Amino acid sequence: MYRPLFACEIATSEITTYGQEMDFSIQTVTGLFLNRLWIVGTLTSYEPQNKDGIIRIADPTGVLSLQLKKVTHEMIADPSDLIPPLFLSITAYGEKISGQRNEIRWIVETLRIASREERDSWILITGELLITRLQEINTAILAEKGTESLHSGIKQNKINTVHLKNLAVHARKACDVIKESAPPENPTELILSIIREYSGPKGLNMDDIFRYTRKSSLSDDLVKDTIRNLIAEDEVYQPSPGYVKLL
């Protein structure tokens, strides 16, 4: 199961080893056990390497570095498109770094370009789940209620109300980012301006249009629908398959 987690909680993750070195799980400060996570945030940098690459993605609570391998299961984006700023939706699994006692490397499993709306929805989902866990832990601490494993996690991680308040502040700040988000781009005006600025004698290739609109977090489906409407309204036309030009 992929867990939606803020970077601030991922940063608290520690490895718990079971018997052999390869048998381990990852536990966060809230007592959540996981081996896979889901994060939607802003690409801050992409550093290609010989075989792999390092992606850094930020949410409102911090930045997470992940390793992107050439054998990524599903990457619905060309590496040349990974230019900040860009919203990405990423799933990843944790890998124990050989020879390190408690170091975790996060490996990208799937990656795709996301929209601002998807990022905002992810923040709300992740914030709600985090607050629910914090409430359960707070009740367990104050009223001595909850499961044995929950109390064991509280004791092992030395969790107190200060930890809970700090994480709650992060969750609130993350949700405040949604309120402060800039209004979405008008897709019609944006697409017309892109065609106007970058069009050549043949017009502008659809792939190039997508390359520019993705940076404004417009989904490909929305762009296709908008271009169809522009064609119907005689604002643009297709001089050849795959190309769009202003009338």
pTM over 0.75: no
Amino acid at 191: I
Q: What is the pLDDT of residue 19?
A: 47
CATH architecture of 3-114: Beta Barrel (2.40)
Greater confidence (180 vs 125) lies with 125
Q: What is the pLDDT of residue 90?
A: 94
Per residue in 15-57, pLDDT (tens digit) is 665 545 556 678 787 877 888 899 999 999 998 877 678 999 9
Instruction: Annotate 155-202 with three-state secondary structure.
Output: HHHCCCHHHHHHHHHHHHHHHHHHHHCCCCCCHHHHHHHHHHHHCECC
pLDDT, average across residues 162-179: 84
- Going from N- to C-terminal start, the domains of the chain cover 3-114, 121-180, 187-246
Amino acid at 11: A
**Does position 77 have pLDDT exceeding 90, yes or no?**
no
pLDDT, average across residues 150-175: 78
Q: What is the CATH number of domain 187-246?
A: 1.10.10.10
The Cα 216–Cα 83 span in angstroms is 12
**Does position 73 have pLDDT exceeding 70, yes or no?**
no
The Cα 39–Cα 135 span in angstroms is 22
